[in-house]
Chain A
Amino acid sequence: MTESPLVLEPLFRVGPVPITAPVVTTWAIMAATTLFVLFLRTRLSASPGKLQTAAELVTGAIEHQIGEVVEGDVTPYRALIGTIFLFILVANWTSLVPGIEPPTAHLETDAALALIVLAATIWFGIRANGLGGYLKTFAQPSWVMIPLNIVEQITRSFSLIVRLFGNIMSGVFVIGIILSLAGLFVPIPLMALELLTGAVQAYIFAILACVFIGAAVSGEPGESATPTRERDSA
């Protein structure tokens, strides 16, 4: 892997639209995920098997994590946060497939994720507090903070993008460099580490999205929103 990760070459074009590798990989992930989900849906029963139990465990864990951060009903956020976590996790782990680059190793995918989180934050904030109430959160604790809060909204989205992109892209690069310099099996420990990194990054991204949404819903400005568990223990 010698080309710049910041430059995407289209694999093919659909009319004027260039189709790049991250998009194709994402489609593959979507197709596999959809097939798996549809298969799992046909196997759902009151007496769960191993696969359903695992799916229920993941769903329950996601709901629990959302509930730790966001007050009230977690149902509206479950699909978004769960999809972000699962997609990032699967996308990060696609680096294990030879010849496949994780979509999250490219800036556009991370930016799309951050953009969706930003839009969801605004949407849930307005839905919970109304447009006026949500806009008032930018003036807290005083109107002087309005520019800083607006900048914070943008910068924290950029931090999401850069954090995920930097971690995954660097991992891919390091593995590629070592693979080009050393033997076939040398990068294996680094690939194992990349598995851990990918899972941690998926968790961090999903939790930060929860925190942003929770802060917007609770009317608290910026990233100063504290998870419920920490607030309760304080």
Chain B
Amino acid sequence: MQIDWWTLALQTINLLVLVWILGRFLFRPIAKTIEERQAAAARVVEDARLAREQAEAAEQQARREAAAAATARGAMLEEAAEQAKQEKERLLAEARDEAARLRQQGRAEIERMRKTEAEKFGSKASELAVDIARHLFMRLPDSARIDGFVEGLAKAIADLPDNVRAELGAHGAPVALKAARSLTPEEETSCRRAIVDALGRDIGIDIQIDPELIAGLEIEAPHAEVRNNFRADLDRIAQELSREGSDA
């Protein structure tokens, strides 16, 4: 058995060189490539896991938001329904109030028109009554249109309050005595005597003629008025009729 030591040394060197070559240019690059691919795969897996977690989180968030939106929508619907109900009730109340107001207004208008018509009818009735009374009194004797009212005039003057009575004809001012027609001297005298007797003193009297009185007498003073004539009676009756018609 013979060993070629040169060959042994050269082969040893050759093998060491080959170890370096393969380690440097084969195993290390391939191992690095494998590691990079594994790292890339791990990154992809990690990215996929993160993406899945993000997707799951987004899905849960979307679910929560959807639930919140549904809750908010329900609350809004309830609130809208409540508002609609309140608005409806308010509109109904307003409509009822408006109807009541219109009804009341209608009633008042009807009442006013009725009163107006009643007053109008009353006025016409009064005028008619006055015409009737005037025509009837025209058929009476002229003396009846004065004589029957002298005593009443005196009584009315006597019934006046003292201070009013004292003012009549005071300071020399004459008292206006209106008559339905011109007075005869006897009638004038009768009237003067009745007034003086009622006042208890003598005053100036200015006789005036007013056919509107129809029948009777009337005294006018700055602070008093004494009416004892048919016109006054008819006016009072007409007022009473009108008042009664309004009250009805």
Contacts and interface: CB of A to CB of B under 8 A. Distances in A.
B7 A22 contact: yes
A116 B22 contact: no
Contacts of B8: 108, 111-112, 115
Interface in A7-24: 7-8, 17-20, 22-23
A62 B36 CA distance: 19
Q: Which size bracket describes the interface of B in this complex?
A: 20 to 34
B4 A18 contact: yes
Interface string B1-38: 11110111011101111111111111111110110110
Q: B-side binding surface: helix, strand, loop or mixed? A: helix
A103 interface: yes
A46 B32 CA distance: 11
B40 interface: yes
A229 to B, nearest CB: 22
Contact of A37 (B1, B11, B21, B34): B21
Contacts of B19: 79-80, 83, 116
A22 B40 CA distance: 44
Contact of B33 (A7, A17, A37, A44): A44
Contacts of A18: 4, 6-7
Interface string A47-65: 0100010011001101100
B23 A79 contact: yes
A204 interface: no
B25 A30 contact: no
A186 interface: no
B11 A41 contact: no
A15 to B, nearest CB: 11
Given A8-B4, A116-B16, A41 B10 contact: no
Interface of A: 6-8, 17-20, 22-23, 26-27, 29-30, 33-34, 37-38, 40-41, 44-46, 48, 52, 55-56, 59-60, 62-63, 75, 78-80, 82-83, 86-87, 103, 106-109, 111-113, 115-116
Interface of B: 1-4, 6-8, 10-12, 14-31, 33-34, 36-37, 40
